[in-house]
Amino acid sequence: MTIKAQTLEDIEESNRATNRLKCCKDTIKVVEENVKAEVKKVDESKPKTVEKSSSYKEESNFLSDLKEHERKGLNELKAKLEEAILGNNLFKKESEKSSQKGEEKKKQAAEEKEKDQAVKDSEECEKAVKGGEEEESKSEGDSKETTQEGEEEKKADVDTEEKGVEGVKTQGEEEKKSDKKSVEVDIDISIWGVPLLPSKGAEGTDVVLLKFLRAREFKVNEAFEMLKKTLQWRKDFKMEKILDEDLGADLASAAYMSGFDREGHPICYNIFGILQNEEIYQKTFGTEEKRGQFLRWRFQLMERGIQKLDFKAGGVNSLLQINDLKNAPGPFKKELRVATKQAVGLLQDNYPEFVARNIFINVPFWYYAFHALLSPFLTQRTKSKFVVAHPSKVSETLLKYIPIEEIPIQYGGFKRDNDFEFSTEDGVASELVIKAGSTETIEILVPEVGTTFIWDLTVLGWEVSYKEEFVPTDEGSYTVIVQKGKKMGSHEAPIRNTFCNNEPGKIVLTVENASSKKKKVLYRYKAKKCSSF
C-alpha cells in the first residue's frame, strides 16, 4: 500500500510539473509572438528617413506655462518647505536617534534577563529531580529563601527599570530643552548646489521642487516627504563629499558621461557587456561590501552628470541615458539583479525626473520578455521615456536624438576617442538621400596644391557600393584611386580617409544604391596644409 501511495504521489507530482512546464512554454510563446508582432509593427510603420522627434516631451519649468493646479501645488510645497526649514524640522533630531537607541538597548537587556531566568529555573528543576525527601525538604527551605531572594531581585529590577526609564525620560527632556535653547536654523540648506529656502528667491529652487512634484503627480504631501527623505539620505550617505572621492577606475568603461544630445542633455552611457568579464564581475558584485562600493560609484557618476545641468527655467535640467545591452549578463545573475534593483530604486527615490529619456540599444530577446513582465508596474510617464532598438537599428535610433558628430564610432557615429582632426568648431555634418536603384556623388574641390583633405562618411544601414577617387583638373593627368570600389555590408563602421594633392582637382566619393530602399548618407570634411609642403 505504501509503495502504491508513493507511486501515485510521484505520478501526481510529475503531472503537476508537466503542466507547469507546459504553462511556462505557453507563456513564453505568447510573449515571443507579441514581441514579434510589435517589432513587425514598428518595422512596417517606421519612416523611411530618420525623424528627430519623440513621443515624450519635457514639461516647461516657466511659471507662466504651468497649469493652475501645478502652480498651486508648487506654492503649497514652497510654504511647507519654508516652514520646515525655519522651524528646523527638515531632518531627524539627534535626540530622536538617541531615544531609538535607548529603546533598543532596553529591549536587549530585557531579552538577556529572560534568558538568565530560564537558565536559573532549569538548574532548580534539576536539583529537585535528583534530591530525596531530605533534599526536597531542604529544597523547600531553600526555595523559600530563593523565592524571597527572587522577589527582592525582582523588586530591585523593577526599581532599576523605573530609574532607567526616569533616567531616559530625564535625559530626553534635557536634550529637548537643550535643543530648544541651542536651536540654530540652517537657512543655507541646498541640494545639487541649489538653495532650498524659497524666500531666498533662487532661480533653481522652483526647478528642483517641480521635479519632486512631477515625480509624485503634484501630490504636495507626498512630494514633500520624498524631498525630506532625499535630504536625509544625502546627509546619511555623505553625498556632499562624493565628488572628491577616489572610487577606483575598474568600472570607468562600464558607465561614463560623453557628449550632448540635440536638445543639450548630457549623455550617460551604460555598457553592461563589460560585466561579462568574471574578474570585473566579482570585483564589482562579489561581496555585499563591493556592491555597496558599486552603488557609491554609480551615484558619483550621477552627481557628475548633474554638475553639467544649469537648473534654469528654460535650461537643460536632465540627462539622456544610453543602455547598451550587447553581451550583457542576463537576469539570472543574482548579484547583478540585486545590485541593479537596489541602484534603480535609490536613483528613482533620490533623483526624480533627472532622466529625459532612457534608450536601450543592442537589445537581446530576454529584455523583451523581462520588460513585458515589468510593463504593468511602470507608469505611463516612465514608459514614455523608454526607447528600444535591436542591433540593426542602433545608428538610426540614436540619430533621432543625437547629432552624428556626438555618436561614438562603435554605434555608427563620427565621435572618436582623442580625435585631433575634428572638433565641435568644425560644424555639423551634411546629409544626402540616395533613391533606390540610383547613384550619387559627393565632390570636394581641391584647387590649391599641397592640401590635405580629411573626411568622415557613413550610410545608415549601408548595403551599398562605395569608392573614392581624386580627379585632376588637367584632363591629361590620371585619376587616382583613393579607395577602390567595394560592397559595404550592413555592419560597416563609418569611414575616415585622407588625401594630399599634388595638383588641382577634386575628390569624388561615389555611393551606388542598388537596393529597393532609399539610403541616407552623412558626411563631413575639412582641409589643412600637407606636412610635406
pLDDT score of 186: 86
E strand spans, 278-371 = 319-324, 355-361
Per-residue pLDDT tens over the stretch 139-172: 444 544 444 555 555 555 545 555 544 554 455 5
Rounded Cα gap, residues 395 and 439, in angstroms: 22
pLDDT score of 19: 60
Is 2 a member of any domain? yes
pLDDT score of 336: 85
pLDDT score of 512: 98
One-letter amino acid of 504: P
Rounded Cα gap, residues 216 and 531, in angstroms: 61
What cell does 143 get?
Answer: 526555595
**pLDDT above 50 for 3:** no
Residues 467 and 346 reside in one and the same domain: no
Are the CB atoms for 431 and 521 separated by under 8 Å? yes
Task: Name the residue among 308, 319, 405 with its Cα closest to residue 358.
Answer: 319
pLDDT, average across residues 105-134: 52
Rounded Cα gap, residues 275 and 258, in angstroms: 20
Q: CA-CA-CA-CA torsion for 52, 212, 360, 372, nearest 10 degrees? A: -120
Q: How many domains does the chain have?
A: 4
Looking at residue 408, what DSSP letter applies?
A: B
482 three-class SS: strand
Rounded Cα gap, residues 98 and 188, in angstroms: 26
Per-residue pLDDT tens over the stretch 215-255: 999 999 999 999 999 999 999 999 989 999 988 777 888 99
Instruction: Tell me whether strands 430-434 and 438-446 are parallel, antiparallel or unpaired.
Output: unpaired
Return the H-helix or E-strand segment holding 481: strand 480-488
pLDDT score of 88: 93
Are the CB atoms for 501 and 527 separated by under 8 Å? no
Residues 155 and 259 reside in one and the same domain: no
Rounded Cα gap, residues 128 and 131, in angstroms: 6
pTM of the model: 0.73
Least confident stretch, 142-146, 263-267, 396-400: 142-146
Q: Identify the CATH number of the domain in which residue 227 sits.
A: 3.40.525.10
Is 418 a member of any domain? no
Residues 268 and 365 reside in one and the same domain: yes
Rounded Cα gap, residues 17 and 4, in angstroms: 20
**pLDDT above 80 for 399:** yes
| CB neighbour list of residue 322: distance below 8 Å, 6 or more residues apart | 267, 268, 269, 270, 359, 361, 398
Is 189 a member of any domain? no
End-to-end CA distance of the chain: 102
Is 473 a member of any domain? yes
pLDDT range class, residue 522, cuts 50, 70, 90: very high
Looking at residue 58, what DSSP letter applies?
A: P
pLDDT-above-90 percentage for the chain? 58
Residues 260 and 370 reside in one and the same domain: yes
Looking at residue 415, what DSSP letter applies?
A: B
Task: Name the residue among 412, 27, 351 with its Cα closest to residue 191.
Answer: 351
Number of C-beta neighbours around residue 168 at 10 A:
16
**pLDDT above 90 for 99:** no
SS3 content of the chain, % helix, strand, coil (to 5): 50, 20, 30
Rounded Cα gap, residues 302 and 304, in angstroms: 5
Residue 429 vs residues 53, 186, 435, 456: alpha-carbon distances, Å: 19, 51, 20, 9
Per-residue pLDDT tens over the stretch 485-502: 999 999 999 999 999 999
Per-residue pLDDT tens over the stretch 462-484: 999 999 999 999 999 999 999 99
Instruction: Tell me whether strands 451-459 and 495-500 are parallel, antiparallel or unpaired.
Output: antiparallel
Are the CB atoms for 525 and 454 separated by under 8 Å? yes
pLDDT score of 14: 61
Q: Identify the CATH number of the domain in which residue 497 sits.
A: 2.60.120.680
Q: What is the mean pLDDT of the chain?
A: 81
pLDDT range class, residue 298, cuts 50, 70, 90: very high
pLDDT, average across residues 390-403: 95
Rounded Cα gap, residues 332 and 132, in angstroms: 66
Least confident stretch, 89-103, 355-369, 385-399: 89-103
Number of C-beta neighbours around residue 330 at 10 A:
12
Task: Name the residue among 405, 407, 437 with its Cα closest to residue 422.
Answer: 405
Is 354 a member of any domain? yes
pLDDT range class, residue 287, cuts 50, 70, 90: very high
Out of 13, 30, 45, a domain closes at: 45
Most confident stretch, 12-16, 34-38, 104-108, 522-526: 522-526
Residues 256 and 205 reside in one and the same domain: yes
Burial 297-316 (b: 16+ CB within 10 A, else e): bbbbbbbebbeebebebeeb
Out of 126, 146, 181, a domain closes at: 181
Return the H-helix or E-strand segment holding 154: helix 133-181
Residues 30 and 56 reside in one and the same domain: no
Rounded Cα gap, residues 165 and 103, in angstroms: 10
| CB neighbour list of residue 228: distance below 8 Å, 6 or more residues apart | 84, 90, 91
Least confident stretch, 124-133, 182-191, 299-308, 331-340: 124-133
Is 422 a member of any domain? no
271-275: which pairs have CB atoms within 8 A and are 24 or more residues apart? 271/324, 272/323, 272/324, 272/325, 272/326, 272/327, 272/328, 272/329, 273/324, 273/325, 273/326, 273/327, 273/328, 275/328, 275/329, 275/336
pLDDT score of 101: 53
Most confident stretch, 246-255, 359-368, 377-386: 359-368
**pLDDT above 90 for 303:** yes
Are the CB atoms for 274 and 254 separated by under 8 Å? yes
Domain of residue 175, residue span: 94-181
Return the sign of the alpha-carbon dihedral for residues 423, 426, 427, 433: negative
Out of 133, 149, 181, a domain closes at: 181
pLDDT range class, residue 5, cuts 50, 70, 90: very low
Residues 363 and 272 reside in one and the same domain: yes
Phi, psi dihedrals of residue 366, rounded to the nearest 5°: -60, -25
| CB neighbour list of residue 190: distance below 8 Å, 6 or more residues apart | 196
Residues 365 and 273 reside in one and the same domain: yes
Residues 239 and 324 reside in one and the same domain: yes
377 three-class SS: helix
Per-residue pLDDT tens over the stretch 42-76: 344 333 333 343 456 789 999 999 999 999 999 99
**pLDDT above 70 for 96:** no
pLDDT score of 499: 97
pLDDT score of 294: 92
Task: Name the residue among 258, 226, 252 with its Cα closest to residue 351.
Answer: 226
**Cross-strand pairs, 520:** 433
Residues 333 and 446 reside in one and the same domain: no
**pLDDT above 90 for 16:** no
Of residues 49 and 407, the one with the higher pLDDT is: 407
Instruction: Tell me whether strands 519-529 and 451-459 are parallel, antiparallel or unpaired.
Output: antiparallel
Is 413 a member of any domain? no
pLDDT score of 293: 92
Is 150 a member of any domain? yes
pLDDT score of 56: 62
Residues 235 and 365 reside in one and the same domain: yes
Rounded Cα gap, residues 297 and 294, in angstroms: 5
pLDDT score of 129: 40
Residues 81 and 118 reside in one and the same domain: no
